[in-house]
Chain A
Amino acid sequence: MVNVALIGCGTMGRTHANSYKNINNANLIGVCDINMEKAQSIAKISGSHVYLKFEEMLENENIDVVDICIPTYMHKEYALTSMEARKHVFCEKPIALTLKDANEMVRFSEKMSVKFTVGHVVRYFPAYKRAVDAVGQGEIGIPKLIRTTRNQGFPKWSWEGWYMDYEKSGGPILDLIIHDFDWINYYFGDVERVYAQSLNGKAKEQDHCVATLRLKNGAIAHVEGSWAYPEGSVFRTTFEVVGTNGQIEFDSLKSCGIEKQINNGHHITSYLSPTAHSMEPYQAELREFINCVEADTKVSVSGSEAVKALQVALAAIESSLTGRPVTLKNYIH
Chain B
Amino acid sequence: MKEKVKIGIISFEHMHALSYSKALCNIEDAEIAGIADADEFRGTQMAAEFNTKYYKYYKELLETDLTGVVVCTNNKMHCQVSVDAANKGKHVLVEKPFAVDIESAEKMLKAAEDNKIKIMTAFPMRFNSNVLEAKKLIDAGEIGDILCIIGINHGKIPSGWFLDPTLAGGGCVMDHTVHLSDLMRWFVNSEYKKVYCECGNLIHNKNIDDCGIVNVEFENGVFASIDCSWAHHKNYTIWPQVDMEIIGTKGVLEVKACAQTERIYNAKEETVGDVAWNESGDEGLIREFVDVCKTGKNPFVSGLDGAKAMEVALAAYQSAAACRTVEVEHIQI
Contacts and interface: CB of A to CB of B under 8 A. Distances in A.
Nearest to A207: B147
A323 B198 CA distance: 15
Contact of A224 (B150, B199, B221): B150
Contact of A222 (B223, B227, B233, B249): B227
Given A206-B249, A208-B147, A220 B205 contact: no
Contacts of B148: 197, 199, 208, 210
A199 B196 contact: no
Contacts of A229: 252
Interface stretch (B33-41, B48-56, B179-187, B210-218): B210-218
B136 to A, nearest CB: 20
Interface string A189-220: 00001010101001110101010111000111
A203 B250 CA distance: 11
B147 A243 contact: no
A202 B145 CA distance: 13
Contacts of B323: 193, 325
A148 B205 CA distance: 24
B116 interface: no
B211 A145 contact: yes
Given A199-B148, A220-B200, A228-B252, A247 B215 contact: no
B325 A323 contact: yes
A135 interface: no
Interface residues of A, number: 37
B252 A210 contact: no
Contact of B233 (A208, A219, A247): A247
B203 interface: yes
A212 B225 CA distance: 9
User: By DSSP majority rule, is chain A's interface helix, strand, loop, or mixed?
Assistant: strand
B155 to A, nearest CB: 12
Given A195-B215, A242-B211, A324 B325 contact: yes
User: By DSSP majority rule, is chain B's interface helix, strand, loop, or mixed?
Assistant: strand
B247 interface: yes
Given A144-B202, A226-B247, A323-B194, A197 B227 contact: no
A247 B232 contact: yes
Contacts of B203: 141, 144-145, 242-244
Given A224-B150, A228-B147, A325-B325, A218 B200 contact: yes
A210 B233 contact: no
Interface in A101-122: none
Interface of A: 141, 144-145, 147, 193, 195, 197, 199, 202-204, 206, 208, 210, 212-214, 218-220, 222, 224, 226, 228-230, 233, 240, 242-247, 323-325
Interface of B: 147-148, 150, 152, 194, 196, 198-200, 202-205, 211-213, 215, 217, 221, 223, 225, 227, 229, 231-233, 236, 247, 249-252, 323-325
Pick the 5 closest A-B CB pairs, nearest first.
A144-B202, A197-B223, A242-B231, A220-B198, A212-B213
Given A214-B198, A230-B251, 6 more contacts: A141-B203, A147-B227, A212-B215, A218-B200, A244-B204, A245-B233
30 contacts: A141-B203, A144-B202, A144-B211, A145-B229, A147-B227, A193-B198, A195-B198, A197-B217, A204-B249, A206-B147, A206-B247, A208-B247, A212-B213, A212-B225, A218-B200, A220-B199, A220-B200, A226-B247, A240-B231, A242-B203, A242-B211, A242-B229, A244-B202, A244-B205, A246-B233, A247-B232, A247-B236, A323-B194, A324-B324, A324-B325
